[in-house]
Amino acid sequence: MSATPETTLAKILRSSRAIKQILVIDSVGLVIAKVLRTKPIEGIGALEASIFRSTEDIVEFLNLGKSILHLSVYDDYAILGIDIGIGSLVMVLDYKTRWPLDAELIDSAIRELIDLWVNQLGLEGYDFSNINSIKTILTKLYQGDRVPPFEVDDSAFDIVQELFSDIRNKMILANCITNELGLPIAYVNQPDFTMDSEELGGTLLAVDAIAKEKGQNAGLGVPIFSIVFTNQNKGFLIAHAGSMDGVEPLVFQTLFSLDKGFIPILSEVRNIIKNISKEYGDQLSQKLMDTIKIIFKQLFPEEEIPKEEVPAQKMDELNNMYVEIERNIDDSINYYMTMIGEFLELISSRCAEIQNSLDAYDQDLQKWIKENIPIFNNTPFEKKMDTQLEKWLSAKEIVENKLSKIEAKE
């Protein structure tokens, strides 16, 4: 059987259960080859082709080399695009299942594709030098140490300006906060990075705009963050940073070096957005921090993310909420245990009534958890809350098992 692009793509697909779709597109987004695990997402070819076209001018303007890899993370999936010379290799990733990919296998498969095209299509004179950077970038995407959390003084007159008074991570070349139109609000840069805030402010927004427009067209929603990596071991990231007065979106943009891996950059982004969120936080900025936490738990499964110092006032609020829900759960457990005891003694017809009541309370509790549990994350109450919820689920299971046995006897 002769080799085909699909057989090579299938090798990549099988390398990770997180890869749901993989395709090769040409420079305008038309699909050349694809293999799928799930229903195809229409429009991702147009998404990646548009982003790579826009980044060509951006990285040239910023003197960052040539864009090699693009990643946009959405609610359910991440879209990873790799420039392979005559087009792009595009992957749809379930990043919540598995974040790291096999860089060596992907690099080998891409070279296999190139050899196939050279032999079958006579592309010997074509420039495929871009692929020489792919393995390095994919490897560094998962490398490096997390930066410890830091807190900006809440009493600062302007949290953003205080935050941007210095660059703590020397791998960061420049940080910028703008509004949606690219107007700079805060800016800080390394001395050897000479571009001013006005030049940088609006330059990167084209990538964000395309990721939003094309992502929504493909049913992916709004990107949580987007990254572009270049063949000069550098890159830039764009993310929603919050909202001014709850209305005007803030956009965070950072240029960085990959010398020590991407993880220090990502953890620095988390720290910056967390501090900005004290004053300008919204649902999307919280989603960014939650997404980074998901990624870090995969990369550092046996390490506990350092607990952040919680202000005394917030500690009191969390303690009051914790005490209230602890009492609520204990009272509810006692109530249902008493009910099941009476039921067994009386052998009455209250089985359905108890089950309905149990389900109603559980729905209310799950709703409370969905609305309130994120504020306990990375605090001393996180594990305590987990214990309380496990206690409830265990008790609920006991009650339901007893109800099932009684119903079976009847």
In the chain, where the domains are located:
5-299, 312-409
Judged by DSSP in three states, 67 sits in strand
CA distances 217 to 21, 43, 45, 116, 322, Å, are 18, 7, 12, 33, 42
For the four alpha carbons of 57, 62, 66 and 68, in that order, the dihedral sign comes to negative
Residue 334: predicted pLDDT: 82
5-299 adopts what CATH topology?
Answer: Beta-Lactamase (3.30.450)
Residue 257: predicted pLDDT: 93
For residue 69, what are the β-bridge partners?
A: 82, 229
Chain position carrying tokens 């991440």: 78
Integer Cα distance of 382 and 376 in angstroms? 5
Q: Which helix (H) or strand (E) holds 320?
A: helix 312-346
Q: Which of 257, 278, 307, 297 lies closest to 96, judged by CA?
A: 297
Q: Residue 371: how many CA atoms within 13 Å on its side-chain side?
A: 7
pLDDT per 10-residue tile (average), the chain, 410 residues: 80 92 91 90 91 89 91 94 90 88 93 83 72 92 87 72 79 89 86 79 84 91 94 93 83 92 93 88 90 87 61 81 88 81 65 83 86 83 84 85 72
For the four alpha carbons of 9, 10, 11 and 13, in that order, the dihedral sign comes to positive
Residue 339: predicted pLDDT: 76
Residue 1: predicted pLDDT: 46
- The structure's pTM equals 0.71
Contacts of 55 (CB under 8 A, 6+ apart): 67, 70, 207, 228
Q: Which of 228, 183, 201 lies closest to 50, judged by CA?
A: 228
Strands (E), 74-216: 78-83, 88-93, 172-178, 184-189
Strands (E), 94-196: 172-178, 184-189
Q: How far is CA 72 from the centre of its chain?
A: 9
Encoding tokens for residue 210?
A: 């395309």
Judged by DSSP in three states, 145 sits in coil
Residue 156: predicted pLDDT: 61
Integer Cα distance of 177 and 179 in angstroms? 7
Judged by DSSP in three states, 297 sits in helix
Residue 408: predicted pLDDT: 67
Integer Cα distance of 64 and 320 in angstroms? 51
User: Is 226 exposed, middle or buried (CB count within 10 Å of its CB: 0-12, 13-18, 19+)?
Assistant: buried
